[in-house]
Amino acid sequence: MKPDIVILVIGANDGFRGIDPELIKTNILTIVRVLKEKKVTVLLGGMQMGQNLGQEYITAFEKIYPLVARQENIGFVPFFLTGVAANPDLNQADGIHPRAEGYRVVVEHIFPYVIEVVEAHRASSSKQIQ
């Protein structure tokens, strides 16, 4: 596959497992950089952590996403699951993964960010052609 655009939403499972936020950040940066080297436009979906790992961990984890987005100058959705997280009507029995109705909310939420990235990709592609 040779995508033009990737919506990258990763790291939450590592966060749930208490993996060192620096390692998570390094892994996300590596993926973003590999995609950019291949001329793929990236939209990064930010994630948040539950309260069970303590405030210090939560803060460190949640800083990863905006930092990577700024550092790599990529599109960014501050919290991918806005309007869905912790809503039992929109999530599967595990309380974490959205059901079909939840994904409809996700799509509505991220749509403006996707449009921005598509437009940026088009502008970038047209500059490369000239």
Q: Which domains does the chain have, with CATH numbers?
A: 5-129 (3.40.50.1110)
- pLDDT tens-digit readout, 4-17: 999 999 999 999 99
State mean pLDDT over 58-67: 97
Q: What Å distances lie between residue 100 and 6, 11, 69, 82, CA to CA?
A: 21, 22, 28, 15
Neighbours of 26 (CB within 10 A): 13
Instruction: Write out the H or E segment, with its range, that includes residue 103.
Output: helix 100-129
State mean pLDDT over 60-89: 97
Nearest Cα residue to 75 out of 129, 7, 28, 123? 7
- pLDDT tens-digit readout, 30-56: 999 999 999 999 999 999 998 888 999
pTM (two decimals): 0.92
Instruction: Write out the H or E segment, with its range, that includes residue 112.
Output: helix 100-129
- CA angle (66 as vertex; 54, 112 as ends), nearest 5: 120
Distance from C-alpha of 80 to C-alpha of 9, rounded to nearest angstrom? 8
State mean pLDDT over 27-31: 98
Map tokens 């208490």 to a residue: 18
22 vs 51 pLDDT, higher one: 22
Q: What is the mean pLDDT of the chain?
A: 94
State mean pLDDT over 111-119: 97
Which residues, at least 6 apart from 88, have a Cβ–Cβ distance to it below 8 Å? 95
3-state SS, residue 87: coil
State the DSSP string of 1-65: ---SEEEE---HHHHHTT--HHHHHHHHHHHHHHHHHTT-EEEEEP----GGG-HHHHHHHHHHH
State mean pLDDT over 101-116: 98
